[in-house]
Amino acid sequence: ITAALKAGGYIRSFDAKKRRKLSSQVYKKGYEARITCSSLRSAKETIKTLKQLGISAGKPFEKGSSTMVPIYGKEQVETLAGMMPKKK
C-alpha cells in the first residue's frame, strides 16, 4: 500500500485555516487519499488489502490510463498516513 502511494497516489488533509478564511461554502475539501492502480483488477486487490488493514475504500474510478482507489474521512486517511515511512 505504501509503495502504491509513493508511486503515484497522494494524501490530502483538511486545511482548517483555509476553511476559516474562505467559509465552508467555498472550501469543501476534506480528508482524502488516492491510491493509483494500473487496472481495475489491481484496484480490487488493493481494496481487499486495505480492508484487511481496517481501512474502507470508496468505489474505484478511472483517471487517465490509471484506476484510482479513493479513501475518505479523517480517521481512514490518518490511519493510512500513519503507515507511511517518515520523510528524512
Q: Take residue 38 and report the three cell numbers written for it.
A: 494500473
User: Per the structure block, which three cell numbers stand in for 1?
Assistant: 500500500
**Residue 35: what pLDDT?**
92
Give the three-class secondary structure for 12.
strand
User: What confidence tens digit (pLDDT) does each residue in 12-65 have?
Assistant: 776 667 666 766 665 567 788 999 998 999 999 999 999 998 999 999 999 888
pTM equals 0.77
